[in-house]
Amino acid sequence: EAGVAQSPRYKIIEKRQSVAFWCNPISGHATLYWYQQILGQGPKLLIQFQNNGVVDDSQLPKDRFSAERLKGVDSTLKIQPAKLEDSAVYLCASSLNEKLFFGSGTQLSVL
């Protein structure tokens, strides 16, 4: 069974630039999550989709972050413009029933 695919694996940008991350969940998984994991901390939920609808985006900084899930499958997370404090690993996860599967993440460094 293929896992959750994310790209790119690493990204280095300067502050005020824009960046986008892509996630392809496990086939058939209706629920998709984006998490932000800052070094030394636990993952923090940014946004949760059920099919192509948003279930929870209460912790998404909407002035600079946006996410979409077209056709209820792939998802993209965008940051525009990036700040230094956005340096983190961005993890995508998908679930069917109670088990979550995480992708390998995108490590973002904002200089």
Partner 1 sequence: ELKVEQNPLFLSMQEGKNYTIYCNYSTTSDRLYWYRQDPGKSLESLFVLLSNGAVKQEGRLMASLDTKARLSTLHITAAVHDLSATYFCAVVNNDYKLSFGAGTTVTVRA
- State residue 70 phi and psi, 5-degree precision: -75, 135
Cα torsion 81, 84, 110, 60 to 10°: value is -50
- Rule CB under 8 A: choose which of 1, 2, 28, 41 binds partner 1: 41
16 forms part of the interface with partner 1 (CB under 8 A):
no
- Rule CB under 8 A: choose which of 14, 54, 56, 62 binds partner 1: 56
Q: Which of 87, 84, 71 is nearest to 36 (CA)?
A: 87
CA count, 13 A, side-chain hemisphere, 36: 17
- Which residues are registered as beta bridge partners of 23? 6, 75
Binders of partner 1 among residues 76 to 105 (CB under 8 A) are 91, 98-105
25 forms part of the interface with partner 1 (CB under 8 A):
no
- Rule CB under 8 A: choose which of 45, 66, 72, 87 binds partner 1: 45
Closest approach, Cβ 29 to partner 1, in A, equals 14
Interacting residues toward partner 1 by CB under 8 A: 33, 40-45, 48, 55-56, 91, 98-105
